Amino acid sequence: MKVVRISIIGFGAVGQGVARSILAKKEFLNDQGIDLCVVGIADSGGCTVDNQGIDLNSALEKKKQTGTIAAGRESVFELISNIEHEIVVEATPTNIENGEPGLSNMLAAFKSGKHIVTSNKGPLALRFSELKEAAEDNGVLFRYEATVGGAVPIFNLIHEDLAGNTVLGIEGILNGTTNYILTRMAEERLPYELVLKEAQELGIAETDPTYDVEGIDSACKLVIIANSVFGKNATYRDVKVTGITKITPEALELASKNNYVVKLVCEAGNGNLTVAPRLVPKRHPLAVGGTLNVASIMTDLAGRITISGKGAGSVETASSILSDILYLVKNS
């Protein structure tokens, strides 16, 4: 059995989703000769560490009962740097002002020779090249499938399955909250404020939902795609962004009468990065409804490849994290 030691930094919806997925897939992984052993968990209250492996059921219960995982005296940097393990799952919340605490956590992990798997968009939307170089300089791998599109495997598809292709451009819907709002407003004729509240209740909106509705979350994801796929060194400030706050129910109705839907579309290609509401024909591959995300990738050999799926959610995001962990287990 190959034992792979992991820490989970950030124990909110995503971090807990990772713990639940590791528990749910234990036998499945064991059958493949893999034992994922979580030796440290950190949240904003502190850390818990057990070199023999933390009982994840107890950890999840403790978090539920007390609101924190904190037990030991280690700081998060001591956990990342000093506790022996191979993979740091960085799942702290996105901060697009300065990328912290994720940025420092990732740099500390690289410096101490650990691979990073992350769902945290902030550091990648601000300092992608620096992080990539830090990983390379330290001989470790940097995996970030969960940062864009939740469960939808955009980077693995492009970098692995479409490896022989040149990607000419990408367009997509990368924010579930705005897609949900636009769908509900158009189909049920519900007011903006009400459907925004629904999206918040579904737990998919950002803590500050202006990040969603002003297109900032989409811009961050588009930048991560541009940097990863087109080798750019962009930040989210390089994206031309228009949000959905000025879309009226009348505009949606008029679009519908003419067989169109309005979508917040992200586009990368020809050196341009744009997020803006667009009219999309109702039968177009980008016309996905509800909280779904979609990415349509234009390539030279394969033509257009479109994938769609759940762009947010605890276990859905953990699906991408688990896939990155297994990539590391098999390729490092």
- CA gap 269, 294 in Å, rounded: 17
| Rounded Cα gap, residues 186 and 182, in angstroms | 6
Q: Which of the residues 85 through 124 are near ligand HSE (CB under 6 A)?
A: none
Q: Spell out the long-range contacts of 103-107 with Cβ–Cβ below 8 A and sequence spacing 24 or more.
A: 103/127, 103/131, 104/77, 105/9, 105/76, 105/77, 105/80, 106/131, 106/134, 106/142, 107/131, 107/134
Region binding ligand HSE by CB under 6 A among candidate stretches 70-78, 169-177, 230-238, 321-329: 169-177
- Quick one: which of 99, 163, 147, 123 has its CA closest to 321? 147
**Pattern 207-246, ligand HSE, x by CB under 6 A:** -----x----x-----------------------------
User: Cβ 212 to ligand HSE, closest distance in Å?
Assistant: 5
221 is a catalytic site residue: yes
One residue of 95, 118, 175, 274 binding ligand HSE per CB under 6 A: 175
Phi, psi of 213 (to 5 degrees): -75, -20
DSSP 152: -
DSSP letter for 30, please: H
Contact segment (CB under 6 A) with ligand HSE among 136-144, 170-178, 244-252, 257-265 equals: 170-178
Structure tokens at 182: 């636009």
Nearest to 314 by CA among 119, 38, 116: 119
Rounded CA separation 298/295 (Å)? 10
171 binds ligand HSE (CB under 6 A): no
Give the binding range for ligand HSE (CB under 6 A) out of 71-79, 204-212, 230-238, 241-249: 204-212
**Cα–Cα distance, 141 to 194 (Å, whole number):** 43
**Binding residues among 264-323 for ligand HSE as defined by CB under 6 A:** 311-312
Closest by CA position to 154, among listed 139, 173, 136 = 173
Mode of pairing for the β-strands spanning 304-310 and 292-299: antiparallel
* Stretch binding ligand HSE (CB under 6 A), from 26-34, 59-67, 181-189, 201-209: 201-209
205, 252, 261, 328: which one contacts ligand HSE (CB under 6 A)?
205
Using CB under 6 A as the binding rule, the residues of this chain from 118 to 157 that contact ligand HSE are 150
Least separation in angstroms between residue 188's CB and ligand HSE is 19
177 lies in the site for ligand HSE, by CB under 6 A: yes
The active-site residue, picked from 114, 221, 263, 310, is 221
Q: How far is the CB of 96 from ligand HSE (least distance, A)?
A: 12
In the complex with ligand HSE, the residue whose CB is nearer, 48 or 119, is: 119
* Nearest to ligand HSE of 103, 199 (CB atom): 199
Is the bond preceding residue 101 a cis peptide, omega within 30 degrees? yes
Radius of gyration (C-alpha) of the chain in whole angstroms: 20
Q: How far is the CB of 170 from ligand HSE (least distance, A)?
A: 17
- Judged by beta carbon, residue 171 or residue 206, the one nearer ligand HSE is 206
Q: Least distance from C-beta 119 to ligand HSE, angstroms?
A: 8
Q: Smallest distance from the beta carbon of 239 to ligand HSE, in angstroms?
A: 16
Binding site for ligand HSE (CB under 6 A): 150, 175-177, 204-206, 212, 217, 311-312
Q: Residues with catalytic annotation?
A: 221
